[in-house]
Every structure is written in structure tokens, then in C-alpha cells.
Structure 1
Amino acid sequence: MAAFIEVKNLNVDFDGFKVLKDINLTINEGEVIGILGRSGAGKTVLMHVLRGVEEYESISGQVIYHLARCEKCGHIEPPSKTGYECPGCPGEKLLSFDADFIEMAIHDHKRRDITKRIAIMLQRTFALYGDERVITNVVNSLTEIGEQDEEAISKAMELLEKVQLSHRMMHVARDLSGGEKQRVVLARQLVRNPMLLLADEPTGTLDPRTAKIVHDVIERSVKDYNMTMVITSHWSEVVESIADRAIILEDGAIINEGDPCEMAKAFTGMACAIEKKPDIAIGDPIIKVQNLRKKYISVTRGVVNAVSDISFEVRESEIFGLAGVSGAGKTTTSEILMGIVQPTSGEVVTRVGDEWIDMKKPGPECRGRALQYMGILHQEYSLYTHRNIIDNLTESIGIDLPYELAVRKAIITLKTTGFTEEKAKSILSKMPDELSEGERHRVALAQILMKEPNIIVMDEPTGTMDPITKKDVTRSILKAREELGNTFVIVSHDMDFLEEVCDRVALMRNGEIVDIGEPKKVILQLTEAERVEADTD
């Protein structure tokens, strides 16, 4: 295989902090490279450098694209097309052409011609016209490159078939699931017939079953379009099954490179085992749920029993898990606990001090009083993108403190979520987009802890994380409980995570609780079909 991209001695600094250190990597044409690394290792920055549409103030080294180019129209192809006729200029040959993204100006038209042939999929940015239908989203991409309306509609339908979404073409984009949105994004990217696909945790926020569907579609598209691909993923099986070669990034440097299976094993081995402290004092009940029911009326499905007559208690300082596959009713239950969803019947009460508060009753002396001592971290959390981290942790969430005290409290809280004191100090002035996904997740948890809640509800807290970062999150939850006495209710389909972090787990199936108790024992109650769905979902 011919060398397609050569990265030589690449260094990137942000405010004096090196995020990439002497990166040397050759990517061959048609090759699939997997990148493994914990949160903050530099994976996303490397992907954006390869994409070539952003400018960095402090960057050095070389990122050389070896290409074939038509001198007449500027058409770009991979290096294997050198000597072939240009598809747009009869009689014109494609000539060998090298382009260094570090040396070339970002507005250089030759560089822009190259970046047009590079597709990117990000883990949390769907980049769709939310109010438009799926078919319109793809047609819009086709008309942007000059396709006529009738041809555009026909090609859009073909592309949606390729990404297995022909059954959703008339749906409004905002109403799709996360996995379906990612497949629309891929269809829009395939419009430009890309020669390179950069997939940065494209399924990071998806459940395992949906993630597998998206991975399969991506893999098939790479083969159909003869693309080169670079993919980061916290699913080690993805790198093992898709990649031809893998690298491990650690603290901005490549520390290992080789066979994907060997690299996945080495990376997983970097995560240390975690032991829960046996001497944590679990208190009296702080949440009581009795005969809880929630019914929905669906036009297509009729009456849907999302939650069916469940009862349980959560004790003070306990880490309590709600386990089950997608659709089991666990998220609806957690939303009822937080007063977001009103139950059809049953009782939900939360203890504040020595008083029990009815969560079904609105108002400042009922639900409102309890909610000020509760925090929720959604899977689709968001930080204030135009405020730095210290503002995200104070002013943006209504905490008014003298600056020095705010900084001190922010650092203490960030340390509770797993940051070192040095790292916590270094990120206070940064903007959210300068942090890795895992770091932003921990800042979002710190944002909740800053408000000093008694109860924290977490919805799929490890959905976007690599195995090592999952361990960091587990430690941060255990440490917050140990140091601050928080009570946690954790909703997850990640059975290994629940077994490691929880004191007790309730297993939900079809809206009912089928077992409550010690995590390992309860999780054994999963059926074989549920295990497959939870593990490969």
C-alpha cells in the first residue's frame, strides 16, 4: 500500500500545555487505523489536525498528504490514481502532488480542495437540519455540490439505503434516535465521495446495540467507497474488528503501535482494578417508592406501561443502580424520582432533613424544596460553551462567590471528580471545547457537586468513555460518596460498571423490578438475550 498521510514530529500546544508530543505516524491508502487512548490523551486534537480545517497557534512538525491532482481543475484523488485521467477534465492526467497541512495556509485553495474530500463523524455533533426531513437533509448536501433536484432525490435515496435508513427518510431529523442521526450524518458525508473518513468516537453516546449497527454501517461504507479511515473508539472490539493497525495515545504521545487485538488488550490492561471501601456507613432511607406506575398512550402501540407497580427504597449515602436493557423502564423511573415526569399512580417521597417531601406535588414547599438538594447528570449533558470552566462551575449555575473562594471550591470539587490539583488549576481558564470528552463529563459532574446536592441521579454516565476513563468515573463517584456523603442513583445498561460501583442494583424488565440486591447476584438474573443486548448493544 502506498503512503497516504505522513505525520512527522507533530507537536501541538495549548497555552503552554503540550497536547500532542512528537507524533510520528504513517497512514497507508486504504488502511483503517484505530486510535486508543484514555480521555484527554490527545485523540480528538490529532483527528482535527488531520482534518485540516482548523488553525492552531502553536503547532510544529509535518502532516503530509500524498495525493494525485489535476492541475487544470484541482480535482483531488488518493495517490494510487496518479497517472489516471481526471474525471472532470477529459485528456488531463492526475499528477503526483504532496501537501503539508502545517506549511500550507488554512485558506490556500489547494488545501481546501483536499479537505472537501475528507469526511468526519464526531461523537456528540450531529450537524443536521433538525426541523427538516431526513431525505431533505441528504438532498441539501447534494444540491450544495451542484446536483439537480431530480438527480439529488434519487441519489439521496440510494445513500439512505446504504446507511440502512430508507425506512426513516420522511421522519423529521430531530425526532430520530442518536444512532439514526449518526447514519444520516454519514449519508451526508458520503455525498462528497470522501477519500478519508475520520470517525472520532462516532458511537460514544449510543447504547451498545445501536453502536454495533452504526459500526457495521461505517465499516461497509468504508469498503464500498474504498476509503481510508482513522477511528477512535472506547469499544475495544470495534478497533479489533475494523482496524488494520492500532496505536495507543497516552498523555499526547504514541506509546504503542501494532496489531489491533494486541493493542486493545494492552490498553484494557492499563485500567487498574478498583476496590470499594467496606466501611462506608449507609444510612436510613432517603427515597421511598411505593406501587409506582407510569402509562403512556401511543397512537401506534396503544397503552404503554413504561413503569408497572414498582416499589423500592434508596438509603442515604448508598450507590443504587437501575439496570436493564433499552426500554426496561429505568430512565422513566429516574425521571419520576427527579420530578421531571409525573407518575400515573403510586408514591414517591424524598427525605430532606427529617421531613418527607411528596415529589408528585409541585411548589416551593413540596417538590421544589426537594429538588434544590438533588442533581441530575443526563447522558446528553452540556456545558456553557462560551464560558470558561471556572464560570461554568460558578456564575453560570448561579453560585455567587468571591473569586478566590470560587477558585478554591472549584479546585476541591474537581479533585473529587478525579482531576489532580495541578490539572484542576490548569483547566479553570480553558473553554469546554479545549477539553476532551471525558474531561468535560467530569466537569459536568463537578458542576452538580458545586451545588452541594444530597442526591445525584446519573443517566448512563459511562456511555461515552473508554475503559480507563470509566475507571476514573467509578473512582470519582466512590470518592464523592466517601468524602461528601452523596447518595447516587445510577441508570445504566453497563453491567460491569454497575457491578463495580453500586452497593445494590434493581434489575428492571418490561417496566417491572424483577430483583433487588447485591449487584453481582442481581445481574446474574439477566437472560441470555438481555446479556447479548447489554454487552453488544
Structure 2
Amino acid sequence: MSFIKLENVTKKFKGVEVLKNISVEIDEGKVLGILGRSGAGKSVLINMLRGMKEYKPDSGRVIYNVAICPECLRVEPPSFEGKVCGCGSKFSVREVDFWNCDKKTFAAVRRRIAIMLQRTFALYEDDTVIDNVIKSMPDLEYETALYHALDLLEMVQMSHRITHIARDLSGGEKQRVVLARQLAKEPMVFLADEPTGTLDPQTAELIHDALLEGVKDKGITMIITSHWPEVMRDLSDYAIWIEKGEIIEEGDPDDVVARFMEQVPAPEKVKEFERETPIIKMVDVKKHYYSIDRGVVKAVDGVDLTVYEGEIFGVVGLSGAGKTTLSRIIIGITEPSSGKVCVRLGDEWIDMTEKGPLGRGRVTPYLGILHQEYSLYPHRDVLGNLTEAISLELPAEFARMKAIYVLKAVGFDEEYAENLLDKYPDELSGGERHRVALAQVLIREPRIIILDEPTGTMDPITRVQVTDSILKAREELNQTFLIISHDMDFVLDVCDRASLMRGGRILKTGEPESIVGDLTPDEKRGMLRE
């Protein structure tokens, strides 16, 4: 008897089928991997298994075969059949039609399911790390909960942050605390929706290890979605590949991954770029600030950098190297402590530390940036986000044409892009929102584009398409790109030159291939996927 069974499940949003006749079975203690591109339907399936009311199937059934205590309605996996519950009654196995059962049973099953969502850090922001985990165990005595929380935080390698306030953590650190909180609930089913999609490979490896130790090795049934093949190979026992809402391959994870990777095209080769005219110059730029915990922090420490017009330039390094601060200084969002930052406009060099319309305000209209923590306007549809929301006023028909064109440039096919225009951000997957945010930058055709971690939520196929669109934009529009990334593979594919940052300093600038040889073992683990 399978633990979880989906029978011919179909789900529509606004008349569009996002899941089509999905059938799959999951045995107790096994890990089902769901592989697929962004927008394929993976997140919809995860939310349906969790019992989120907006995701009730339009047809088909979600079945949980569970052991239920008839007295207190405690729910456990089917292997608990015949065991004695804490209340004294015995568990008996029952088939629960999840979306069509009574409210009490639905709630009882739902309570035993834990979930990690991509880019969603469900933490008490003003509480410490240790208190966040303890609050997941309200039924335990404080001392028992404390020691269990300490064990969990050690497993996710967050023991060094137990007294830190949650809001002060990095995204990767928050994700690890979320994992500890979910494991503290001792769930019977663990759902993980792209848990490492936005993380650097080194932090992703920490999450993988914790999922192996805290979920798979403990026999907890898990369903995990990802567009990264290594996640499927490392964690899943059985895999399905979903494309446009349908299962097109299923079976052994290695076989499914191999077939999926056959669909990934090789990126265009970067043509040799001839450096002629500088467009960005930084001379001895520093940004120092004071932290109560760490004293004087040298986020950027004496950087010299020159980027040429039409160049695709990468700045690489692990999280905390100073990359994002550097990009914010270039665009004028962050004031440097000292040094010179200039951007060329026509034949004139503009000092980016000079405020006002006669200073950096002259350059701002020609700059575009995709922030790592991007956001879309939630009350505007995709078309609105690409036009009126960014003050791009165009005739209606031309606006749709231009929006579809730029959506195709970031990896959507024409039919998909057309259907996307009338959707709102909360109807999109994380990867789709990321690509729309990138399209929002590209559609204004700025002269200089800064992309801060542009590939975090992108599947391998989309990643290649975005690589090709950047190369095409450089060729057709003579755009200059500065790419801030911990994804060295992406930089190798797309950049003409790159600088390696470490501890706020630029250690080396050269062709991307030459940078790889100077990476430390930790940087190689943190920036190279294979």
C-alpha cells in the first residue's frame, strides 16, 4: 500500500491547465523528486499536497493512506498501524481522500506535513535563531525543546548564529533556520519546493546535507521539487519530470536527469571582445561601516576597476565578498567612504558620487539593475509591470508586442509569453517572477545593465536562453553588462572578463577561465556546480 497517491489530478487557473492528469504513487520513507523547468507546475503540485485551499484539484484525487488514532485524531504514517498512541488508543490505517474528507481529518493530516517554500522565510524576524526553533515545539517543556533546537541548529550548521536576530541573517542562513523549524515539528511528510534554488552552491550543499541527515536518513517521506539535476540525483529515490503540467518521464532519478539534460542546448560561444572605450571607472573605492558585532567592516576595500563599452563583465566571489555593495556604489545607491566612481555619458564622464540632476541623475535613466532581492508590483499584471509600472508609456498594441519580445528573450516561448501578460505576480512561480523582473530591466533598453545574481531561480534551459539573450542584446543594442554572481559556470558562459572578489578586495581580473585557477577550494565548492 502506497503512502501518498495522486489519481488523475488536474488543476486549472483562469481556464488554463497547469496540471494535466497527474498520477503518481509515493511509498512511506521514500523521496520523490519532481524535476522540471520554471512554471512547469511543480510548485502547484507541492501546494496541493500541502492542502493550500487555492490549490484544490479540479478533478482527480489526492490520497493519504495514514494511521489515525480514533480517540485524539493523531495522524502518523501507515507503519504505525496497531501501535499505541500517547492517549492510549491504537492506530488504525485509513484511506483519506484529502480534498474530500471532513474538516477535522483534513486538518489532522495537514498538521503532520511540513513545507519549505522557495524565497519564503517564515521566521519571527525580531526573535533570535534559537527562539525561532523553540517556538516550533510548543508542546515540549522548555529545557527539552532547547536541547532539541540546539541539535537541529548544529545539523543545519547554524550553531554560530543561535543568538542572532533572524532579520539580520543572510538568505541562505534564514533558509537553514526555516529547515530546522520544520524538522522540529517531526513531520510525517516533508515538502521542499526549490529549497536551494536561490542559494550559492556551497550553501545549497549545506541544505542538501541537512535534508539527507534530517529527513531522508530518518525515513521521513519527502517530495522535493527542483530544476537542478544534482538535487534529484543526490536526494530522490524516484523522479518525475513535469513539462507544461504533464509527466513526460518518470523512473530512476539518474535516467530521468539524463533525459532532461539532453534538452539543455549549448550556449552560444562568446565572440572575442575588443576593448576600446571605457564606460565605468573606479579608482581606490572603499566602503567601510561599523557593526556592533563585527567592528569595522570593510565591505569594499580599495577597488580599482575599468569596464569597457559593450563589455560583459563579471564580478565573482562567495557570499559576503563585497560584490553587491560594489554594484550599489556603481549605480549610485550606496555612497562610497572614499575613492572615485565615474560613468561615461556620451563624451563626458559623470561623477557618480555627485548627487542631483546635474550629477548622477543625468546617468540614472541610462542604467538598469536587477537586484538580488527584486520585487514586482503585486497589483499589476505582467504587462503592467513591464510598461506603466516603470513609466514606459506605449500604444497598447505596441506595448504587448514589445513585452512579448522581451519575455521571449528571457526564455518564454511566444504562446507562453502571450498567456503570461494578464497574470499577476502571485500567480507565477518563483522562476517565472525572476524572469519577468529581468525582462522589466531589459525592456527599457538601458546602456548599462547590472545583474545581481541573475541565475538563482533559473533552470538549466532558461539559463542558456538568458545567456544567449545577453549576448544578443550586446550585439544589437551595444549594451554593457556588469554581472554580479557566485555562479562561475554562468560567468564562464557569458562574460568577456571577470574580477575575483574576496574580503572586499579585487584579487585578480582577467578572462573567466583564468579566474578558475585562482579559486580556493571553498570558492570552487561555492561557485562551480560540478
Structure 1 equivalent of residue 240 of structure 2? 247
Cα RMSD of the aligned pairs, angstroms, is 2.5
* Alignment of 1:135 onto 2:130: yes
Distance in 2 between residues matched to 1:283 and 1:254, nearest whole Å: 51
Aligned mates of 1:511, 1:443 — CA distance in 2:
31
- How big is each residue's C-alpha offset from its partner over 1:324-366, in whole Å with a ceiling of 9 and x where there is no partner? 3334333222121111222232221112233211011111211
Counterparts in 2 of 1:524 and 1:412: CA distance versus 1, 3 Å: same
**1:325 and 1:169 mapped to 2: Cα distance?**
22
Does 2:332 align with 1:339?
yes
Q: Call closer, same or farther: CA 1:523–1:157 in 2, change over 3 Å.
A: closer
In 2: Cα distance, 1:499 partner to 1:535 partner: 10
Distance 1:166 1:502, change over 3 A: closer
**Distance change >3 Å, CA 128–CA 432, structure 1 → 2:** same
Matching of residues 10-25 of structure 1 within 5 Å: 10-25=9-24
Contact conserved, 1:507 with 1:523, CA < 8 A, in 2?
no
SS in 1 for 2:133: helix
Aligned with residue 97 of structure 1, among 94, 99, 116: 94
> Which residue is equivalent to 2:358?
365
Q: Is the 2:69–2:92 contact (alpha carbons within 8 Å) kept by the matching residues of 1?
A: yes
Question: Quick check: 1:283–1:317 contact (8 Å CA) kept in 2?
Answer: no
In structure 2, the residue matched to 1:82 is 81
CA distance in 2, matches of 1:185, 1:396: 33
- Whether the 8 Å CA contact 2:66–2:95 is kept in 1: the answer is yes
8 Å Cα contact 1:14/1:58 also seen in 2? no
Mapped pair 1:467 → 2:460? yes
Query: 2:410–2:462: 8 Å Cα contact kept in structure 1?
Result: no
Matches of 2:154 and 2:210, distance apart in 1: 10
Answer whether contact 1:417 1:479 (CA < 8 A) is retained. no
Q: TM-score, normalised by structure 2?
A: 0.92
Q: Residues 11 and 20 of structure 2 are in contact (CA less than 8 Å); yes or no, is this contact kept in structure 1?
A: yes
**Which residue of structure 1 lines up, in the alignment, with residue 268 of structure 2?**
275
Q: What are the equivalent positions in structure 2 for 1:456-535 lying under 5 Å apart?
A: 456-535=449-528
Q: For 1:283 and 1:49, how far apart are their aligned partners in 2?
A: 55
Report how far residue 216 of structure 1 moved.
Answer: 1.2
TM-score (norm 1): 0.91
Aligned equivalents of 1:5 and 1:209: distance in 2? 32
2:216/2:222 contact within 8 Å kept = no
**Contact 2:34/2:226, CA 8 A, preserved across alignment:** yes
**One-letter code of the match for 1:455?**
I
Shift of the alpha carbon at 1:302? 4.6
Tell me, yes or no, if the aligned pair for 1:286 and 1:351 is still in contact at 8 Å.
yes
Partner of 1:311: 304
Q: Distance between the aligned counterparts of 1:290 and 1:78, measured in 2?
A: 62
For the residues of structure 2 that align with 1:400 and 1:493, how far apart are their CA atoms?
35
CA distance in 2, matches of 1:193, 1:526: 39
More moved, 484-493 vs 514-523: 514-523
Does the 8 Å CA contact 1:34/1:246 hold for their aligned counterparts? yes
Residue by residue over 1:88-127, the C-alpha shift from the partner in whole angstroms, topping out at 9 and shown as x without a partner, is x21x22122112234347xx22111111100000110011
Among residues 97, 114, 122, which one is paired with 1:119 in the alignment?
114
Q: CA deviation at 1:283?
A: 6.1
State the Cα deviation string for residues 200-254 of structure 1 (Å, max 9, x = none). 1112221111111122112211146531001123442232122212222222222
Cα distance in 1 for residues equivalent to 2:270 and 2:527: 27
Bigger shift: residues 132-141 or 196-205: 132-141
Contact 1:417–1:477 (8 Å) recurs in 2: no
State the alpha-carbon separation in 2 of the partners of residues 59 and 371 from structure 1. Answer: 48
Whole-angstrom CA distance in 1 between matches of 2:381 and 2:508: 44
More off after superposition, 374-383 vs 305-314: 305-314
Indicate if the aligned counterparts of 2:117 and 2:193 stay in contact, CA closer than 8 A: yes
Identity of aligned residues (%): 55
Q: Distance in 1 between matches of 2:206 and 2:270?
A: 39
Deviation at 1:303, TM superposition (A): 4.3
Shift of 1:286: 1.6
- 1:301 Cα shift? 4.8
Task: State how far apart, in whole Å, the 1-side matches of 2:171 and 2:304 are.
Answer: 31
Contact 2:270/2:495 (CA < 8 Å) preserved in 1?
A: no
AA matched with 1:324? G
CA distance in 2, matches of 1:310, 1:347: 10
Residues 425, 433 of structure 2: 8 Å contact kept = yes
Task: Provide closer, same or farther for how the CA distance between residues 139 and 533 of structure 1 changes in structure 2, counting only shifts above 3 A.
Answer: closer
Partner of 2:181: 188
How many residues are treated as equivalent by the alignment?
Answer: 530
1:67-466 equivalent positions in 2, closer than 5 A: 67-87=66-86, 89-90=87-88, 92-104=89-101, 108-143=103-138, 146-147=139-140, 152-153=145-146, 155-223=148-216, 225-276=218-269, 278=271, 284-299=277-292, 301-466=294-459
Deviation at 1:368, TM superposition (A): 2.0
Instruction: For 1:497 and 1:45, locate their aligned partners in 2 and report how far apart those are by CA, in whole Å.
Output: 28
Q: 2:73 touches 2:105 (CA, 8 Å); kept in 1?
A: yes
Distance, in Å, in 2 between the alignment partners of 1:78 and 1:344 is 58
Could you tell me which amino acid in structure 2 is paired with residue 124 of structure 1? R
Quick one: distance in 1 between partners of 2:519 and 2:153? 35
Q: Assess, with a 3 A threshold, how the Cα gap between structure 1 residues 479 and 13 changes in structure 2: closer, same or farther.
A: farther
Offset of residue 298 of structure 1: 4.5
Compared CA separation, residues 75 and 16, structure 1 to 2 (3 A): same
* CA displacement at 1:488 relative to structure 2: 0.8
CA shift, 1:61, in A, is 1.5
Cα pair distance change 1:190/1:422, threshold 3 Å: same
Amino acid at match of 2:59: S
Distance 1:221 1:531 in 2: 26
| Aligned match of 2:37 | 38
Structure 1, 326-335 or 174-183: larger mean CA deviation? 326-335
Cα deviation, 1:46-96, whole Å, max 9, x if unaligned, reads 111111222347621221111111222211111111222222x21x22122
Aligned residue number for residue 54 of structure 1 = 53
Alpha-carbon distance between aligned partners in 1 of 2:173 and 2:517, rounded to the nearest angstrom: 31
Evaluate the alpha carbon distance shift between residue 56 and residue 210 of structure 1 in structure 2; reply closer, same or farther with a 3 A threshold.
closer
In the alignment, the residues of structure 2 paired with residue 295 and residue 41 of structure 1 have an alpha-carbon distance, to the nearest angstrom, of: 44
2:283·2:303 contact (CA, 8 Å) conserved in 1? yes
Looking at structure 2, the residues matched to 57 and 7 of structure 1 have their Cα atoms a distance apart, in angstroms, of: 13
1:178 Cα deviation from its structure 2 partner: 1.8
| C-alpha contact 1:59 1:102 (8 A) present in aligned 2 | no
* Cα separation, partners in 2 of 1:404 and 1:120, compared to 1, 3 Å: same
